[in-house]
Amino acid sequence: MSGPKVVRIVTREEVIAICEGHLQRLEYAVARWQAQASKVGELSEQECVATLARRNRLSALLAQERFAELQKAVPVEIEHLRRDLEDREERAIIRAAERRQRERRLQENAATLLNALQANPKGTDQALLHSLSRLAKGASQDDGERLLAEGFAQLAKASQKESLSEAQRALAQQLKVEEPKLSLANWAMTRQPEASQDVRLQRIDRYIVELELLQGADSAAPFLQALERAGEVTQAQRHNLLLDSLVLDLATATRDFHKKRECLEQLQGLASEIETWASAEHTPLLSQISTCNIVTDLAAMAGLNEQCKGLIANHLKAQAALARREAVLGGLASLGYEVREGMATAWAETGKVVLRKTATPGYGVEVGGKADIDRMQVRAVALSSDRDKTRDRDVETIWCGEFHRLQALLKDKGCELLIERALSVGEVPLKESSISMSSKEASVDQQKTINP
């Protein structure tokens, strides 16, 4: 198959650019993982060191030219970091929700105990009553459990007043059935308000602490106020409607937050990649992205995301096309073909170039293909119609051997030149073409013509 060929070329520069993009996205993923895991209190120094070590090993693959391994391993590591961060955030949210539920139980138990003590205030410590009152109103108390224990002890002591005669007590002792001793925990359980057992409150707690932890206290403040107002409503039906509505509002707010955060993180990751090669024309776009935050309109961020993806794709395509043209022309120059300055640009402008070789006068090689695709056609051509056409088959056969040498030269430089379709020698007549001229040479010749 020594006739015209359709080939596909993948250059070393193209592969390196892809790998560098992978590593840039990994760098952003690691930075985000560190910052967010530290924020939620779920990151140890040992875990941080281990993650940075994995990142460094993956980065070293580029210098080691293990390109295929890098392209497989980096996306796996990025996905691992994403899932690991989700797990860490989940643990932090569960911990915070449980703490909030404990605080609610303390508040409810304090209110119940306070009412019981105030019903018989004689002998009750007034300072203790004041502390229990503050705890019942929602004030944070580090010694809340101790206050409840002290209050329960005083309540139990008050209930053991002498009210029977000696004979009555002796008879009661004889008739008494052994019962388990009442503890503070059992007492609190038997008097637990129904509200604390409401599954809706558990869901509300979960949503609120998630917003506080991931988005900030300000985002949860309106919902906390709504919960407080619902707690003040005594009518059961109205109270239930308010709680149901609050659950729905929180679910919507949480879902919208996660959508925006995911979009924002993707946008920032793309921007970090663009910054590595951006020029002045990209400054407005990068400035616009830098102003985006979690309250930015989701549709606007999605539009910027698509714009960044298109920009990166076009950049990689342009870089790859240039690298392919330069690689092929460099290989042909090594085989003795005349490659002149500006020929790569002429190829991009006209879609093809024709190169001649002094060893085969009257013949050359045409390389064609759009600059933005990775496929091209290569073929031997005649540079004149006034020739000995019996030599055409010999020239095509010579070009066949040179093509295989070109493949070997490119492979030594880390490029792949793959044949996708080829015709046999003589299957089609040899194409006649004129020698290509670079833009620079054409300008010089034009000047010579105008100024003889």
Residue 186 domain-assigned? no
Which carries the bigger pLDDT value, residue 12 or residue 298? 298
Residue 233: name the closest of 223, 222, 243 by CA: 243
CA distance 18 to 25: 11
Instruction: Grade residue 184 by pLDDT with cuts at 50, 70 and 90.
Output: low
Residue 172 domain-assigned? no
Instruction: Grade residue 450 by pLDDT with cuts at 50, 70 and 90.
Output: very low
Residue 370 domain-assigned? yes
Q: pLDDT tens digits, residue range 76-89?
A: 999 999 999 999 99
- Most confident range (mean pLDDT) of 109-118, 133-142, 229-238, 428-437 is 229-238
Residue 191: name the closest of 136, 116, 283 by CA: 116
- Please give the full DSSP string across 208-247, using - where no structure is assigned: HHHHHHHT-HHHHHHHHHHHHHHHT---HHHHHHHHHHHH
Residue 362 domain-assigned? yes
Q: What's the mean pLDDT in 362-384?
A: 81
Residue 91 domain-assigned? no
Q: pLDDT tens digits, residue range 404-413?
A: 898 888 888 8
Cα angle 148, 152, 153; round to 5? 120
The partner residues of 375 in beta bridges, in order of sequence, read 8
The partner residues of 164 in beta bridges, in order of sequence, read none
Residue 330 domain-assigned? yes
Q: Is it the case that residue 250 has pLDDT exceeding 60?
A: yes
Number of domains in the chain: 1
First CA to last CA distance, the chain? 48
Which residues span the domain enclosing 371? Answer: 320-450
Q: pLDDT tens digits, residue range 285-299?
A: 999 999 999 889 999
The partner residues of 376 in beta bridges, in order of sequence, read 7
Residue 107 domain-assigned? no
pTM over 0.75: no
Residue 54 domain-assigned? no
CA distance 118 to 130: 11
